[in-house]
Structure 1
Amino acid sequence: MLFRLVDGLNEVVGKVVAWVAVIFAALIIYDVVLRYVFNAPTLWAFDLTKGLFGFYFILLGGYALRHQSHVRVDLVTSALRPSPRRIAEMAGYLLFFFPFAWVFTHQSYLFAARAWAQGETTYGAIQMPVYPFKIAMAVAAVLLLLQGISEFLKLLLNRTGETTNDR
């Protein structure tokens, strides 16, 4: 089914993007060593690590939703029985998540398209391209929206228990 495909996609993306944290840490260590041990700071490491952190943070949204790791306000739903809880969660997706995810997807696409068309770069000593990070934001928005659809379908079809063994 669709939710298995989307769940698998976000699982793979989450595991691949997790390696960005290793690269991110290595770059910071490299820059610190060059700066303080050899007194030869890099011009590019700060901008690159800032971009990688954004890349890392934003692309894990779908993965976090898949594993129910987002911040949730369960004051109302925790007191409900399973069936009314499912209905309340589905209503939450319809009223809050999907409108947000649609706006995020649409606006991040426009943001990325504009950056691509302009060949946008950072300002400062070294001008790194910005559009790859903005494109990553649009991809992340699509992944989050797809994962939301998957989670909604699981609630609708009462298949929420299928992902608990993955946690």
Structure 2
Amino acid sequence: MQALLGISRGIDAMNRWVGRIAAWAIVIAILVSALNAIVRKVIGTSSNAWLELQWYLFGAVFMLCAAWTLIENEHIRIDIVANRFSRKVRNWIDVIGHVFFLGGFCAVLIYTSIPFFLNSYASSEVSTNAGGLIIWPAKLAILVGFILLALQAVSELIKRIAIMRGVLPDPGIGGHHDIEGEVERLLSIQKESAVGIPADADSGGAPAPTSPRSRP
């Protein structure tokens, strides 16, 4: 199990590294967008290449950061039903989900993305828009993104099995993704807001000062 956990740590480290680098594409996309807008307003000219570059950068962030997002458990999850189950059942749900749903989804997309990219690369496919960019880098990002996501699914599966076997602690217990704890905290805040805090609570029991107009 320790050997598998070592592989999992390696996958996690790689996807974190890729994600942190790819995230900078957002900054580049913002600069490209701002520069394109300035040039269009000042000089009165623009190019489809600038617009497509923004799309490529956004797509690269979306695809190359997906695995990193999975590591941090920040993908949207609908846990209304799952939270009613025990942690053991939820662990099994995660295992089945990673194997059959996430793993299967990635397998299909990788299988279809390989010829999708190779055909584009072999033909030097270019955008049909005037002044557009070559397309194969964007298709390559799709392929690489799903490969990284599939590897991360393997890593998450290893960690989940280790948690079920007691080798690793369950990060959901007391962690920032503990839904039950978060709900309890929000209900506590709501209850305090409904009850309210006495006006003299912060002043050590002294009565609140009155305005000059309210004095006799």
The answer to whether the 8 A contact 2:48-2:132 is kept is: no
Find the partner of 2:149 among 144, 163, 167: 144
Give the 3-state SS of the residue equivalent to 2:80 in structure 1.
Answer: coil
Count residues with an aligned counterpart.
Answer: 167
Q: Is residue 2:32 matched to residue 1:2? A: no
1:1-54: CA deviation from partner (whole Å, max 9, x where unpaired): 111011011101110011000000000000000001222323421121122111
Deviation at 1:136, TM superposition (A): 1.1
CA distance in 2, matches of 1:14, 1:114: 27
Larger radius of gyration: 2
The answer to whether the 8 A contact 2:109-2:146 is kept is: yes
CA distance in 2, matches of 1:146, 1:157: 17
Q: Write the mapping of 1:18-167 to structure 2, written as runs, cut at 5 A.
A: 18-158=23-163, 159=168, 161=170
CA distance in 2, matches of 1:108, 1:72: 26
> What RMSD, in angstroms, separates the aligned Cα atoms of the two structures?
2.2
The answer to whether the 8 A contact 1:61-1:140 is kept is: yes
Unpaired runs of 5+ residues, structure 1, are none
AA aligned to 1:8 is A
AA aligned to 2:34 is I
Q: Which has the higher contact order (CA 8 A, sep 6+)?
A: 1
What is the aligned-residue identity percentage?
26
AA aligned to 1:36 is K
CA distance in 2, matches of 1:34, 1:85: 53
AA aligned to 1:24 is A
The answer to whether the 8 A contact 1:35-1:42 is kept is: no
TM-score normalised by L of structure 2: 0.71
> CA 1:162 to 1:80, structure 2 compared with 1: closer, same or farther past 3 Å?
closer
